[in-house]
Structure 1
């Protein structure tokens, strides 16, 4: 019996089935048991010749008549290496290969079981019939019944009046009925005609013709539709179609109907080869009924290993207009907040022991918000060459060299959303571009001992700028621009980093603990160089935090500015660790910089330099007060003015599974106010400080109903920026229902509201828009209320 027709899978739209318990299994078999593991000596016998298969006959009584027919009576069995046939009475005609089974007929193969009161099968022609079959699938877990199964060949079987469910409950919550199902096993294709999906005995989905995979392998066909509604698009319905082109190629076509905007067509193509992979995705709307124009988006990613340590990749993304993501953002995703859409392409090489290099080009599409201020586009890098050399513990020394050659191109102003905000005299389509060469080589000598370390480090940073002007009759001079076409800078950077770790036995909340005391000193010396004539391509003020407090520059990015420094950073951390497990119960940290002279280098000419002798205080605390409650706090505040410049705080309480409450507070002062507190009194000043409160929770209301939600409120803007509210209902078996509403800001003055319903049927899939990504990303600690379904194996019903 070479056929595998009894490995039946009846599902909708490529849905996967789950384990099904046989109806006549004893009650103890359905009790929770330890998870089975596949023993390594269990293996499937494939491509075994029929002549090499021995048949073993078992019965209470065994006879042979005058026609050479073997008659097995009473607990009859025919066992081979690939299958088992059972029945009360079995007649086997050796001359024709015909097998007749009467009474409790059963066939077991590949962990799949088919039962019927009688069956007829020819082992030579591999044809036959089974009356009133019941089937259980080992590898896929589905179960069902039919009035008759007609076996036409090894590859083709037809089931009549089929009822199928992937739900393992004795009384399945969902099932599918179809008058006729044809199974083509070689093609891994099942075709159901006039299939109806029932939920709680109520029909909820009908399809006149349905193609689905028989096994777990991919199969071309329609996927489950998704639907929802939003204030931007109105009622939405998508019906994806999946193309299984080849084992390493596939594609999905996704029509998306939006009542307000029209029909959008989306497509995705994925490929995987020897040493390369990638995907292409795009959408196209011929005419947006709201915006009265065509709208589109495409993305193309590719990665390729060329051998010899050389790799190539590119990531290209573009949209038709600034408002695309605000209007077409997928539900639950934060695409509406995109401001820069990056594209890149390049090569990397890491074939040498101490050297590596890369050559990349970067381009950015800036998405403007017409209701907010103009967003200055980023410079394109066309291209950027990076060469790195590093060797550690070279006679005790660590040597590292980072070298860049970057061609910067200013995007030409062409937006019609804002007036050009640039310097006086700079008009649209005028720009200044440039090439920056930079090299930073450093040598460190770490001395590390038990309980302490000292790391002296010396480096030299060299830069050169060559500028070009476009659209000008003479060189452009402005506050942010160069005064000559060629500029250079050489700066030594010296630092000394040292720290110690002390430990002692202690007690915390009555529990034995180990307390550590970890002081750290970091001295930095950088001489002053006038850098006011150097252009600024990709440099900005870095946030002051614990990591940056021990860094070599207060500016971040490409280091178009390197701050002069003569300063000492003092840090102290103490931790309480469980004596037995080492789990960190409490940590307290503090740090501050001490300046020995004023800072002269600023980001832009006219900016006010630092004159304080001490920096803001940095403090942080994190504590696991109990096994279920944790808190955290961090702040940056000015010790003289007592102003807080940054603050974060929050807690999370998880008293039990599927129950969590968390809250957080975030504040960040406008960086311009930190450097110049009096800027708030200047004409036309806009405060860009950020202050927000967030609350999120998942909580059981009953043993079946769960509430979930999140609310973000901007204290600075005095409005809610995001609201999520939902209910989940866990059914008795195999189903879960969800209703979720989300309202989120898509611009400074505009918000979108969306709502959807989802019915999740275990072993089949989900009807409606899938909210799981949204819930996991936005609700800290969220857990799905649907219990996991264990994977089935071929040996699940091994005898």
Structure 2
């Protein structure tokens, strides 16, 4: 057999035609001769080259002489193409569901339609039925997923979930999408999923959108609603629903040969069962004139921000998104001019770092912003909040996120960046940046409490890069000079001398709220043996938030992985999961695949594979 080390044998070979034959007592493996740790055996195997389908009767997988999986009948494609049939079963265990076994069935309905039916047997909860239907057409595609647990043995109730995702291209610049999700109860994901990203979900969108784009013009229409999965320990405040939201934008560079023109408009009808409701219209045109040279740039920009509110009179006795009761104006508007001046220079010199000749840059930047003050205290807050203070926000026109508050400003931001660049390759080896904002006049606009009165903002600093081929590091620091306190910082390092050799260390600090250590990595400990793991510990809470540990053994034609995962859900419940996988090179895998969990938890994780990739059976 002429592919990798794949080979087989049979007691009897019978030709039934030019493209069809049968084999009695057939065996197949991708292991090397004399090192056959596993075999696929069948009492009878029929190969049909005309239909490119193989059939095995009374077939089983044998590993180290031990039969692992038996089936009285199996059909499989001879080429890498889709075919209906049972997929490899998986098994594992979690703390919430107990021991689990799934046996997916794949249905190849048509070249552009398929479905997967997945029964899931859980020792603690019973039998769950799951399914996925996918469709693809030249102008649209999508998938429908559904799960149904008719009688949960723990909760004594029927539980279900579904999701529909659809994307459509209508032509002439118009596209659309639909995303609908629903679960039967608040604890569905926390009880029935083994992934942190899924168990932590609290807001399920139900939205549809119609979009348009052509040249400098774009527009969108969206209806957005939610299902809220309440947390009994930390109740969730439902966000406003947008029913509907309309957006339009115009972006044109080099207008008149010297200016960039932009305009954005938005209309939103904010709906909420327990808060003030209303409509908001915003319009924000702007014109900038960039002057760019090799040594620097200067970009003045002038814009206008207009906002109009029309509130539901019957809801004006209710609070807004912040929980604040205000003396609302049922109809209110706001018009604010916005002027900014962004400038920067770039200097270079030859330098030496870690014994290597590099180009060092020095890049000072000055950003000035002026926005006059306007009282906005009688306007509601639907979607605004304090923007996260970071290097991106410090050069923005508004210290608030959302459209309900426009901060007054008479301020300048100074920043300095230095980079070390390899002259031959252009690879950036190290970057360091510092920045701070200076207020010529303290801002007066606030959300709920008083606006800040400090003359200078927090000081931001960051440094990071690929120090050596094996070592990389990064650090960020936010310091409040007005209180002489460090607000937050994080430090991280990665050692990655070769593929499969990896160690990550991160420390995160946020004053009064967060002090965490995060260790992760993978490393060979002996020939063919590799360990991997993660430990996330809260120093402030004095408890482990998440642990993951695994071991892998890699042989020439197979690999086995065992991974244990323990984490906390949004309700502070601890969930345990165990993944066990046997990978047979060129055939399939048995058990529950832990690779997605490893990639999500270990930054830079690389998968080890046995010698044989999936082989093309047409070569045999």
TM-score by length of 2: 0.95
SS at 2:600 equivalent: helix
The match for 1:649 is 491
* Aligned position for 2:197: 334
User: Quick check: 1:344 aligned with 2:207?
Assistant: yes
Counterpart check, 1:764 vs 2:581: no
Q: Who is 1:378 aligned against?
A: 239
**What is the alpha-carbon distance in structure 2 between the residues aligned to residue 481 and residue 238 of structure 1?**
55
Q: Give, in whole Å, the separation in 1 of the partners of 2:499 and 2:319.
A: 63
Assess if the C-alpha contact under 8 Å between 1:495 and 1:523 holds in 2. yes
Deviation at 1:449, TM superposition (A): 0.6
Alpha carbons of structure 1 residues 476 and 783: separation in structure 2 relative to 1, 3 Å: closer
1:209 to 1:333, Cα distance in 2 relative to 1, 3 A: farther
In the TM superposition, residue 700 of structure 1 has moved relative to its aligned partner by: 1.0
Alignment of 1:17-416 (within 5 A): 19-21=3-5, 142-153=6-17, 156-167=20-31, 171-329=35-193, 331-351=194-214, 353-372=215-234, 374-394=235-255, 395-410=257-272, 412=273
| Distance (Å, rounded) in 2 between the aligned partners of 1:304 and 1:240 | 29
Distance 2:140 2:551 in 1: 43
Q: Identify if the C-alpha distance between structure 1 residues 386 and 170 changes in structure 2 by more than 3 Å, giving closer, same or farther.
A: farther
Q: 2:78 touches 2:618 (CA, 8 Å); kept in 1? A: no
* 1:519 equivalent in structure 2: 364
The equivalent residue for 1:576 is: 420
**Residue deviations 1:733-768 (CA, integer Å, cap 9, x gap):** 111111110001013431101112111111111111
Question: Aligned-pair distance for 1:403?
Answer: 0.5
Could you tell me how far apart the structure 2 residues matched to 1:769 and 1:620 are? Answer: 41
After superposition, residues 416-427 of structure 1 pair within 5 angstroms as none
Tell me, yes or no, if structure 1 residue 488 matches structure 2 residue 349.
Answer: no
1:148 CA drift (Å): 2.4
Alpha carbons 1:20, 1:169 under 8 Å: kept: no
Q: Offset of 1:346 from its aligned partner?
A: 1.4
Any idea what the Cα deviations from partners look like across 1:590-613, whole Å, max 9, x if unmatched?
A: 000000112111112xx0211000
Instruction: State the secondary structure of the residue aligned to 1:627.
Output: coil
Shift of 1:487: 1.4
User: Which of 554, 563, 574 is the matching residue for 1:740?
Assistant: 563
- Could you list the per-position Cα deviations for residues 121-161 of structure 1 after superposition, in whole angstroms to 9, with x for gaps in the alignment? xxxxxxxxxxxxxxxxxxxxx53222223333456432211
Match of 1:714 in 2: 538
Is residue 480–residue 535 contact of structure 1 (8 Å, CA) maintained in 2?
A: no
Distance in structure 2 (CA, Å) of the matches to 1:239 and 1:544: 49
- Asked if 1:780 corresponds to 2:586, the answer is no
8 Å Cα contact 1:482/1:535 also seen in 2: no
Match of residue 515 from structure 2:
691
How far 1:303 sits from its partner (Å)? 0.7
TM-superposed deviation, 1:196: 1.5
Does the aligned pair in 2 maintain the 1:431–1:469 contact within 8 Å? no
Contact residue 622 and residue 631 of structure 1 kept, 8 A: yes
CA shift at 1:396, angstroms?
Answer: 0.8
Which one has the bigger strand percentage?
Answer: 2
CA contact (8 A) 2:95 2:577 kept: yes
RMSD (Å) for aligned C-alpha atoms: 2.1
Say which SS state the counterpart of residue 91 (structure 2) adopts: strand
1:615 maps to which residue? 457
Are residues 1:636 and 2:471 paired? Answer: no
Give the secondary-structure state (helix, strand or coil) at the position aligned to 2:199: helix
State yes or no: 1:510 paired with 2:494.
Answer: no
The gaps in structure 2 that reach 5 residues or longer are none
Q: Please tell me whether the aligned partners of residues 262 and 287 of structure 1 are also in contact (alpha carbons under 8 angstroms).
A: yes
Offset, 1:20: 3.6
1:432-474 C-alpha deviation (Å, 9 max, x unpaired): 321111111110000001111000001001111111155x6x8
Cα pair distance change 1:496/1:725, threshold 3 Å = same
2:504 is aligned with 1:662 = yes
Counterpart-to-counterpart distance in 2, 1:359 and 1:623: 42
Paired residue for 1:72?
Answer: none
Distance 1:527 1:766, change over 3 A: same
Task: Output the CA distance in 2 between the equivalents of 1:789 and 1:523.
Answer: 60
Aligned to 1:34: none
Mapped partners of 1:718, 1:710: distance in 2: 17
Aligned position for 1:542: 387
* CA gap 1:361/1:758 in 2 versus in 1, 3 angstroms: same
Q: What is the rounded CA distance, in whole Å, between the counterparts of 1:261 and 1:590 in structure 2? A: 55
- Give the 3-state SS of the residue equivalent to 1:597 in structure 2: coil
CA contact (8 A) 2:79 2:616 kept: no
Deviation at 1:389, TM superposition (A): 0.9
Secondary structure in 2 matching 1:775: helix
Alignment of 1:547-566 (within 5 A): 547-556=392-401, 558-566=402-410
Secondary structure in structure 2 of the residue aligned to 1:707:
strand
- Secondary structure in 2 aligned to 1:334? helix
How many angstroms apart in 2 are the aligned matches of 1:291 and 1:463?
A: 49
The CA distance in 2 between the partners of 1:204 and 1:518, in whole Å, is 64
Are the aligned partners of 2:585 and 2:614 in contact in 1 as well (CA < 8 Å)?
Answer: no
Mapped contact 1:480–1:536 kept (Cα < 8 A): no
1:442 aligns with 2:426: no
- Match status 1:594 vs 2:428: no
